[in-house]
């Protein structure tokens, strides 16, 4: 392996772009979006997890706010990223399941910030299609793992890897990208994609000299499998009491034998030892990411940028990790759909000047809320006063909660603002053979799920049963609550009409619906199918 600077092949290009960026008056805050891939909402120390070590993420929460009821409405990679990009709900951005992000939307996060005078830069995983379609970023250095959707594409991380270690295999650890197996990274940790992403972000922040504010997205490809942290992070959790898989009283249908040749099952009972090994390595990946975030915060502080930078941390979705004998994502359950969402605002941001630090918000929030949040921070007006039906976004600025415009709060655990949405919608089309398609609603206290291919309903009391161990739908004592949530879903889906709702009543759907009529059609591509016959398997990356 070569011993020169780990960023040497990229430095000249990156610094040239930084120094040659156009100039504007820098009167608005910088915006830093930190993102992990496939990180569960319960994998933060401040979320009550006493085992995981996330000191730098915990710091963001204690110096800002944590949204404990944050969700990914369509919990797989690409539809989640479409929500982040557009500020829209699944029906309005068009992706009801795993499909390619459309080449162009009418309003896109980084393009809007760019048009408003921000210098826009991305590092890490974007998962767009085509893969060099940056949707408005001035520049991006990509880590798209093994994903290469065209013969001429190789991610910047892989190009850098081969320039630094031309005789080594970046996949030498031998664990797949939807694998349940776990192990220590077999190469020097300086070559790990998590370290590369951190290095590039730190270099950008050290070198940036543009007079306009920046929007920097740092998107880590972990803790998504492979579960492959450096050995030192596996040792951290070697004797830790990592939480075992939660197994609900309803989960017996997933308690099946796994094909020994299948390293990427979507369901099955793999036993407590495999679950523990996967979780130890998953926690290690998160702690490695947390370390990189600590480096990023340190350079912000050293350059005097910390109090002029809005920082938001989140993930695209979670990871079941064996809960209820389920693996990977695309499910309505907490391990898949609940995500971390932390916001630390700068002292210079007038909109949050009097907001108390250390807030824990209980309102149901979602990835669609991040774009409006950034627009408000940047001083780009959103027509909030318009009727929601005609507003350009389904999301709403989180700053409205922090500074009290959506209702009061106090330091510490916050009640739910009456001016905020009462619940959030969740859904996913079929992704794995036999998994079916579903719609759901949650307010963070209750969750109602309709498995639309069978008509089965589930109801969970998340306040008293956060691990969803007991399905209350069959219990007569909860019939009224069940009917209340069913009627809410009927109203939510009413605009779609058949086959979702007929005569005001929820319907079973015999056919999987992947795309809504709002999905933008690219004239250069053949029309995308809006339905898929039951049983066909889709990849969920």
Residue 16 annotated to the active site: no
The set of residues, in sequence order, having a beta carbon less than 8 Å from that of 115 and lying 6+ positions away, is 136
Helix/strand/coil (H, E, C) string of 254-304? HCCCCCCCCCCCCECCCCHHHHHHHHHHHHHHHHHHHHHHHHHHHHHHHCC
Rg (CA), the chain: 22
483 C-beta neighbours (distance < 10 Å), count: 10
- Interacting residues of 231 by C-beta distance below 8 A, sequence separation 6+: 184, 185
Does residue 127 have an active-site annotation? Answer: yes
Cα dihedral 276, 281, 286, 287 sign: positive
How many Å apart are CA 214 and CA 218, to the nearest integer?
A: 12
Q: Which residues contact 60 (CB under 8 A, 6 or more apart)?
A: 293, 311, 313, 342, 343, 344
User: φ, ψ for residue 99 (rounded to 5)?
Assistant: -160, 175
CA–CA separation, 115 vs 110, rounded Å?
Answer: 8
Burial class (CB in 10 A: 0-12, 13-18, 19+), 133: middle
Contacts of 252 (CB under 8 A, 6+ apart): none
**Do 35 and 315 touch, CB atoms closer than 8 A?**
yes
Number of residues written out for the chain? 541
> Where would I find the H helices in 351-412?
370-377, 399-402
Q: Which one of the listed residues 99, 127, 135, 324 is annotated catalytic? A: 127
Name the catalytic one among 56, 69, 77, 267: 77
Active site (catalytic) residues: 77, 127
């Amino acid at each position: 392996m070569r011993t020169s600077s780990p960023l040497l092949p990229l430095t000249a290009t990156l610094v040239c772009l930084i120094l040659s960026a156009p100039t504007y008056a820098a009167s608005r805050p910088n915006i830093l979006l930190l993102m992990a891939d496939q990180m569960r909402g319960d994998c933060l120390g401040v979320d009550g997890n006493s085992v995981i070590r996330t000191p730098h993420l915990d710091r963001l929460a204690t110096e800002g706010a944590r949204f404990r009821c944050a969700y990914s409405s369509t919990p797989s990679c690409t539809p989640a990223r479409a929500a982040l990009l557009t500020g829209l709900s699944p029906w309005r951005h068009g992706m009801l399941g795993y499909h390619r992000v459309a080449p162009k939307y009418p309003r896109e996060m980084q393009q809007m910030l760019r048009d408003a005078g921000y210098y826009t830069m991305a590092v890490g995983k974007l998962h767009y299609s085509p893969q060099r379609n940056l949707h408005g970023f001035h520049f991006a250095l990509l880590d798209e793992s093994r994903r290469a959707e065209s013969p001429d594409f190789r991610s910047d991380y892989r190009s850098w890897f081969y320039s630094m270690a031309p005789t080594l295999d970046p996949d030498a650890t031998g664990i797949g990208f939807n694998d349940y197996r776990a192990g220590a990274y077999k190469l020097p940790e300086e070559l790990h994609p998590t370290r590369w992403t951190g290095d590039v972000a730190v270099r950008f922040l050290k070198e940036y000299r543009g007079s306009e504010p920046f929007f920097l997205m740092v998107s880590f490809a972990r803790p998504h499998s492979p579960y492959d942290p450096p050995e030192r992070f596996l040792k951290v959790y070697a004797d830790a009491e990592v939480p075992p898989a939660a197994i609900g009283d309803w989960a017996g249908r997933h308690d099946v034998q796994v094909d020994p040749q299948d390293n990427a099952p979507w369901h099955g009972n793999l036993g407590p030892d495999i679950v523990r090994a996967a979780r130890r390595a998953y926690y290690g990946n998160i702690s490695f990411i947390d370390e990189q975030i600590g480096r990023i915060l340190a350079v912000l502080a050293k350059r005097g940028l910390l109090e002029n930078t809005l920082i938001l941390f989140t993930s695209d979705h979670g990871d079941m990790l064996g809960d209820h004998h389920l693996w990977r994502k695309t499910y309505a359950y907490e391990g898949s759909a609940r995500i971390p969402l932390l916001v630390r605002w700068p002292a210079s941001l007038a909109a949050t000047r009097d907001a108390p630090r250390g807030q824990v918000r209980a309102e149901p929030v979602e990835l669609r809320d991040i774009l409006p949040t950034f627009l408000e921070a940047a001083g780009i007006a959103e027509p909030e006063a318009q009727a929601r039906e005609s507003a350009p976004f389904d999301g709403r600025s989180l700053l409205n909660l922090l500074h009290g415009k959506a209702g009061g709060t106090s330091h510490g655990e916050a009640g739910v603002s009456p001016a905020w949405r009462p619940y959030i919608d969740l859904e996913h089309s079929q992704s794995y053979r036999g998994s079916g398609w579903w719609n759901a609603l949650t307010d963070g206290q209750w969750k109602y799920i309709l498995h639309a291919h069978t008509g089965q309903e589930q109801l969970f009391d998340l306040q008293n049963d956060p691990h969803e161990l007991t399905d209350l739908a069959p219990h007569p004592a909860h019939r009224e609550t069940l009917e209340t949530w069913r009627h809410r879903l009927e109203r939510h889906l009413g605009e779609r009409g058949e086959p979702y709702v007929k005569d005001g009543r929820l319907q079973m759907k015999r056919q999987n619906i992947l795309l809504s009529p709002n999905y933008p059609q690219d004239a250069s591509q053949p029309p995308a199918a809006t339905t898929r016959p039951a049983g066909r398997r889709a990849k969920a990356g």
